[in-house]
Homo-oligomer: A and B are copies of this chain.
Amino acid sequence: MSCGEFELIARYFNRVTSSRRDVEKGIGDDCALLNVPEKQTLAISTDTLVEGVHFLRDIHPADLGYKALAVNLSDLAAMGADPAWLTLALTLPEVDEAWLKAFSDSLFELLNYYDMQLIGGDTTRGPRSLTLGIHGLVPAGRALRRSGARIGDWIYVTGTLGDSAAGLALLQHHERITDPVAHEALIKRHLRPMPRILQGQALRDLASAAIDISDGLVADIGHILRASECGARLNIDALPISSVLLEHFDHAQAVRWALSGGEDYELCFTVPEINRGALDVALGRLGVPYTCIGQVAPEAEGMTLWQNGEVVELNLKGFDHFDAQ
């Protein structure tokens, strides 16, 4: 198959399906032109996904299109931002129209769900990888940050932890668990994480700090603690672990995945005691569970893990591309 680079981009990615009025010029010039509304702050994040490192070689392009955007949306969620625009740099070993169609259809489905617009990108030949640049808007002064946690604040997470790591393990080892529904549920948690956009926005005036869990709970809480100059006590018994995970895996393995498996794309956040009632009102109506798993402590204490009222030592490691591979 031979088709020019520009044509290729045009065919699959030049779709304007959003109703955004802040896009003055989208794809088709040297730059996109965007207008940020008054009293809104722009939130920008960028993430690269490399084949063999961040996604398996045999991933379905529809899953990749979804997940690439979802993990970037998760960064916006962690700031309490409202999704707006996306840039996509796509490097592909060859032009495969079936692949492009499935990938782009899936990407645009999620873009449309959030009324986002693809405003630019680049397509190049090379080893398969993607870099997304995501842009969101947040009312001035109300963005969530990692640095606001204070001693005594309560530590929460949304959803359940460890399912994504279990799903990845199943995919990597080509294993199946006996219950097909449970099997698919875990795979889906890995391939189709749900960015917690609404939860992030609901937390804007309630949480003192927030992060999304990509590297693993312990590693990501570590980022909050370093930025906030605090320690933390985490209660292992309180970790929200799904019944699927508990039924089909060893309890110790489930706990390890919950603490350090990574790619959960849930939010971890801290809430001052005074905001806990308002938190229940704000998050309670959004249909996703949230769980208090510990408390912010003085920095000198570091991060301690507690089980049955005692400190435990666990050998854990966050996912690090240059160490773990």
List A residues at the B interface (Cβ < 8 Å): 2-6, 8, 24-25, 28-36, 38, 41-54, 75-76, 78-79, 81, 85, 87-89, 91, 95, 119-127, 129, 131, 133-136, 138, 140, 143, 145-147, 211-212, 227, 320-323, 325
Contacts and interface: CB of A to CB of B under 8 A. Distances in A.
A50 B124 contact: yes
Contact of A31 (B3, B45, B119, B124): B45
Nearest to A34: B42
24 contacts: A6-B320, A24-B41, A24-B143, A30-B76, A31-B43, A31-B75, A31-B81, A31-B134, A34-B41, A34-B43, A44-B87, A46-B89, A46-B121, A46-B122, A47-B122, A48-B131, A50-B91, A50-B124, A51-B126, A89-B89, A125-B321, A125-B325, A126-B127, A129-B129
Nearest to A222: B6
Contacts of A45: 30-32, 120
B53 A43 contact: no
B75 A126 contact: no
- Smallest CB-CB A-B distances: 9 pairs: A50-B126, A131-B131, A31-B43, A30-B78, A127-B127, A133-B133, A36-B36, A46-B87, A48-B89
B122 A30 contact: no
Number of copies of this chain in the oligomer?
Answer: 2
Contacts of A50: 91, 124-127
A119 B44 contact: yes
Given A38-B38, A122-B131, A133-B87, A78 B31 contact: yes
Given A48-B122, A91-B48, A122-B47, A322 B8 contact: yes
A56 to B, nearest CB: 14
Given A30-B78, A46-B87, 4 more contacts: A29-B146, A30-B76, A42-B42, A44-B85
A33 to B, nearest CB: 5
Given A31-B81, A131-B131, A52 B126 contact: yes
A316 B212 CA distance: 50
